[in-house]
Structure 1
Amino acid sequence: MMDIALITAGQMYRYYLRQVVVGDGRRPARTPLDRAQEEVGVPAGGWMGRGLAVLGLAAGGVVTEAQLRNLFGEGRHPHADRIEADQLAAGKKPAAARRAGALGRRVKVTGVDLTFRPQPTLTLLWALGDEETRRAIEAAHERVIAACLTELEHEYVTAVDDDGTPRFLPVVCEQARAKLNRIATKMTRPPKQKARPLAQLRAWWKASAILTSGVAADVINSLLEHARAAAAAIRARVTAAVDVALAAVDVAATVFVMNSGGRFHRRHLLTEARRHLALAQRGRRREPSLDESIVNEVLAAHCADITKARTERGEESGYRLYTARWAPAPPRSRTPAAASGWDRRPAANPAGPFLPLQPGE
C-alpha cells in the first residue's frame, strides 16, 4: 500500500525533522540530527533517484538537516547555502546570489510524501517468522519501493528530451496526484462488491501473500498457528481481575478532563467505564453489571452533585449533573457595597459615625 501527501513550503518540513527522521518518535530539542538518529537506532536518510546528477548529488549520500530545510522548507537547491556563498564571494549582489540557489520559480508545493506500507499479513509474518523469512520480506519490500519510484519518476516527475537528457517538471500537479491515488486504491485495496465468505477471503489472502512475498507456502501455512500461539501466550499472562476502586479513579479523572468545564452526566461515566474494561480485560467477557459497579463507585467516592433542576425530569438520575470533588469551587460573588450615605451628615468628630439628617437639612 502507498499513502500520498503533499509537502508545502514553510514550516511543514519541521514535522519531518522532529518526528519522521527519528522513527516517528519525538526528537529532543537542540539535539543534532545525526545524534538523535543514532540514539533511537534509525539509519540516516539517503538520496536516490534519476535526477541526482543534475543537482550535483550522489546516490546514497546522507541527507542533512540543512538540505531538508532548503529543499522542502523553501523549495531551493539542497546546497543553496553553499551556492549563495560562492556567488557572494564572486562579487554578485545578494539578490542575484539568492536567485542562483533557487530551483526555478517559487512554488507552494515543494515535495510529495510517499509512504510504502506492506500488507498486514506480511507485517505479522515478519514479526513471527525466522531470520531468513524476515530477510526475504525486507528484500521484497525494497524491490517494490525501487520499482515504484522508477515508474513515478518516468511518468509523473520527469520527462526526457529527444537526446535523452532528463527534463524536470516543477511540481507534481493535482491531476497526477489524483491519478496516483486512484491507482493506489485500485491496485492495493480493491473495493468489495459484496460480502465474501471468510474461508474464501483466507484463501485469497494466502495466495496473495505467497505471490507477493516469494516465501515458501509452508511458512504461510504456519502463520495462523504462530498467531494463535502468540494470542494464547498473551491471554495467559493477562489477569482478568479488575480493581473497582482503581478503575473508579481512572474513570473519574478521564471523564473530568475530557468534558468541558469538568461537568458530566452518568452516561459519560458508563461509557468510559466500558472503555476501561475493554482495555483492562483484553477482549475477555466481563462480569455482568461490572461497569455499573464502577460507575456507582465513582459517584460515591469521587463525584459531587451540582444539579440545579428546574423540572421533574431534571431530578432523574440520568439527567443529574456531576463534577469531580477535587474540582476548584466556582468564584463567589462579591458582597454588595454599603450605601454611599447620601442621606447622612458628617459627625462633629471625624472618627465618629454619620448622623441622620434632620428634617429641613
Structure 2
Amino acid sequence: MKQNFKLQSFLADNAVVLIFVIITLGAIPISGLPLTSIVQEILTRIGRNCFLVFSLLLPIMAGMGINFGMVLGAMAGQIGLIFVVDWNIVGVTGLLFASLIAIPIAAILGWIAGQILNRARGREMVTGYVLGFFMDGFYQFIVLYLMGQPSIWTAKVLDRWTALIPIHSPTIILSRGYGIRNTLNLDAVRQSLDKFIPLKIGAISVPVANYIVIGLLCLFIIWFRKTKLGHDMRAVGQNQAVAHAAGIPVDRTRILAIVISTILASLGQIIFLQNMGNIATYNAHQQTGFFAAAAILVGGASVSKASIPNVFIGTMLLHLMYIVVPRAGTNLFGDAQIGEYFRDAFSYAIIALALVIHAWRKRANAEAARSSLRGGTEAVKE
C-alpha cells in the first residue's frame, strides 16, 4: 500500500517532466537530426536561456508564484542594448555598459511591480501578466516617440513629447527623425559573451563564459538562501501571517524578491539577445515570461516550490522539444508548420497542466489535513 502511494506521489510530482521526456525521446529518432547537432543546440540554448529562468526562483520562494512581470526587466535590458548600439560600444564592454543602464531601470520597475503585487495578494501571477502588457505600452511610447535625434529638438517637437531622449546614430532611427527601427542588429556585441572564452570539443562549441556566469548566479542563489533575507523570504512563502507575527517585514520582503527577479531578468535578456545577434525592438520581450515559466515548470517546479535543478532540467527538456519536434513534424507530415503547431500547443498546455496539478495537490493536501484533524478530534472524544 505504501509503495503504491509513493508511486502515485512520484508520478504526480513529476508528471510534467515524464510527459516531456516521453515526447522528446519519441521525437528524436523521427526528427533524423544527428546527435552532435542536437547537443550543440542544447548547449547553446541552455547558455542563453538559463539566466532568464533563474530570475523566477526568488518570487516562487517568497510565495508569489511565477513572476510573469519579469518582462519589465526584459524591457530594461533592451533599453540598455539600444544605447550600446547607438554609442557603438563593442564586445563584453558593451554588455557591461548595457547592464549598468538596465539595472537601475529594472530596480525601479521591480519596485513598482512589487508595490502593485502586494495589493493583489493571492492573484500575483495574473496581475504580473497583465502588468507586463500595461508597462509594454509605456515601453513602446518611450522607444517609439521619446527616443530621437537631438537635431530635431524644436519647440513644436517638444510640445509633442517626441525625441526627448537623444539618439545620435541615424541608422537605428526611423526616417521621421524619432522612434527606433523595428529590428536592430547587435553587431557590436553579437555573441561576445559566447565567444569570450572559446572552447571546441570535436565539432561542438561550448559557450564557456555563459556557463561561468550561470555558475556564479547559482552560487549567489545558494548563498542568498542562507542569508537573513533569504530565510525571511522562505518564511513569508510558507505562511505570511506567521512571518508577520515573527517580526518579518512581509511587504518589504516580497518587494525585494520582485526587484531582484526583475534585475536578473534584465541581465538574462541581455545575455539572450547578444546570442541571437538582433533585437525585435517592439516585441522581443513579450514572450520572455511565458517561455521562462514553461521551462521551469517543465523541470518539475510548481508555483510554490522550485530549485536550481528544476531550471536546468526544464530548460534542457523544453528546448530539446523545440529542436526535435518541428523536424519530426516535417518528416511525419511533410510540413514543418505542423511541427511548429505541436511545439506551441505543448508549450501552452504544459503551463496549464502544471497549474492544474498544483491546484489539485493543494486541495488534496488540505483535505488530508482536515481528515487528520477530524481523526484527532474523534480520538480525543473517545
Q: Which has the higher strand share?
A: 1
Greater RCO, 1 or 2 (C-alpha within 8 Å, sep 6+): 2
Q: Which has the larger radius of gyration?
A: 1
Fold match, TM over 0.5? no
Q: Which has the higher helix share?
A: 2
